[in-house]
Amino acid sequence: MKKITPLEKRWILYDVGNSAFVLLVSSILPIYFKNIAESAGVSAANSTAYWSYATSICTVILMVLGPIFGTLADTSGFKKPIFTMFMMLGVLGCAALGLPLHWLLFLAVFVIAKTGFSGSLIFYDSMLPDITTDDRVDSISSHGYAWGYIGSCIPFIGCLVMILTAEQTGIGTMTATMLSLVITAAWWILCTLPLLRSYHQVHSVVRPKQPVRESFRRIGAFFKDIRSQKKTMFFLLAFFFYIDGVYTIIDMATVYGKDVGIDDTQLLLALLLTQIVAFPFAILFGKISKRFSCEKLIGFCILGYLFIGLFALQLDKAWEFWFLAVCVAVFQGAIQALSRSYFSKIIPKEKSSEYFGFFDIFGKGASFFGIAMIGISTQLTGNSKLGIGLLCVMFVAGFFLFKQSAKQPIGK
């Protein structure tokens, strides 16, 4: 592959910025919330359930807003402003989480921050056809996730050291965590500025007189079109099932680990290892996509996650959590990057935001069910392992549906 262009680098840099928030949400933030909630008298099982419900609410909001703003963003000149709006919502929400808040208000602000983050990804992902070409898209998408993993470690390590040494330095763990949220927000916006200065929408539809009304009309047209595009339809259904487990594992790993008795320091260090190991493997999968078809690699990743889910069912020791963290690292970036690039190649480029809006619905809609299953099963049984078992079933369904998508030609 030729050298990465300046615009591609700036696009990748946004992944470096927002991934710091992802790492915080999947590691420090759930532990911080559970400590706040439990100090207020909320049981461990209920605090896990409430965290999963808050994450699910973000999904529902995106399921409503995604298609509307997605179709609107395909209009000439609209994509960057809408992307900026959601990004700033996420950044400001992240910073606001650093304020001393009651556990319920903390959850409300978290919903706002995560909605902004998730919403920005719809338009970030849909920029792929504008910033690179079809023959480079697998590699560039993989570079985005890879550098996101390793780059996010820079603020995270600083924040983690500050938190782990908070009692010795006299700052206090709570204050250190609050400062970490502000630092993460600052990192996120600084990494975004180069993309905002240089990105220009290339593929778009002609701006109508009433763009908002037209966006709703195009949502209806999407459902008519998708029935004749079997490859895209089967892929979205497969994505719904297999990405369920991926997002649920990302969002709930530390909560699940804490529930089975892994201490906070072990959890955080294991997840830091995940980020570091994920970097070379995301790059590796991007490189081998030149030798093996994207379909084969995605299928392999789905089976890898099925193994991870089955192994997690008996997890009760710290070393097992570390082993699982490495396994997740091998497949996490690859399955997300390849799914994103594969989808970008089978959809109309001028409707990329519209299609990625639904891509996000199918992805976040899946995580809604996965995280809700974890929350409900934990409250009913007092144990989160039943929800993990149900995720394994969804990996199997996703694998077989993806095989059906792979058989179909593009556009049919």
Q: pLDDT for 227-280, tens place per residue?
A: 778 888 889 889 988 887 787 776 666 666 666 677 777 777 777 788 788 888
Specify the pLDDT at position 258: 66
* pLDDT greater than 70 at residue 213: no
Q: How far apart are CA 91 and CA 106, in angstroms?
A: 15
Domains and CATH numbers, the chain: 6-199+207-407 (1.20.1250.20)
* pLDDT greater than 80 at residue 308: yes
Specify the pLDDT at position 15: 93
Over residues 93-117, mean pLDDT: 91
* pLDDT greater than 70 at residue 412: no
Specify the pLDDT at position 211: 60
* pLDDT greater than 90 at residue 145: no
As a three-state string, the secondary structure of the chain is CCCCCHHHHHHHHHHHHHHHHHHHHHCHHHHHHHHHHHHCCCCHHHHHHHHHHHHHHHHHHHHHHHHHHHHHHCECCCHHHHHHHHHHHHHHHHHHCCCCCCHHHHHHHHHHHHHHHHHHHHHHHHCHHHHCCCCCHHHHHHHHHHHHHHHHHHHHHHHHHHHHCHHHHCCCHHHHHHHHHHHHHHHHHHHHHHHHHHCCCCCCECCCCCHHHHHHHHHHHHHHHHCCCHHHHHHHHHHHHHHHHHHHHHHHHHHHHHHCCCCHHHHHHHHHHHHHHHHHHHHHHHHHCCCCCHHHHHHHHHHHHHHHHHHHCCCCCHHHHHHHHHHHHHHHHHHHHHHHHHHHHHCCHHHHHHHHHHHHHHHHHHHHHHHHHHHHHHHHHCCCHHHHHHHHHHHHHHHHHHHHHHHCCCCC
Structure tokens at 70: 């997605």
pLDDT band at 365 (very low <50, low <70, confident <90, very high): low
First to last CA, the chain: 30
Alpha carbon distances (Å) from 226 to 123, 203, 316, 346: 20, 20, 44, 12
Specify the pLDDT at position 212: 60
Specify the pLDDT at position 309: 84
Mean pLDDT is highest, among 4-8, 172-176, 320-324, for 4-8
Contacts of 297 (CB under 8 A, 6+ apart): 285, 288, 289, 334, 338
pLDDT per residue as tens digits for the range 41-79:
888 778 878 887 888 788 788 877 877 777 777 777 788
Q: Which has more pLDDT, 367 or 297?
A: 297
Mean pLDDT is highest, among 106-120, 218-232, 261-275, for 106-120
The chain-wide mean pLDDT, for the chain, equals 83
pLDDT per residue as tens digits for the range 374-407:
677 767 776 666 777 778 888 999 999 999 888 8
pLDDT per residue as tens digits for the range 331-358:
888 898 899 888 888 887 777 777 877 7
Q: Which residues pair with 75 in a beta bridge?
A: 205
Specify the pLDDT at position 96: 93
Alpha carbon distances (Å) from 231 to 27, 226, 263, 400, 404: 36, 9, 45, 13, 8
Place of tokens 């995270």: 156
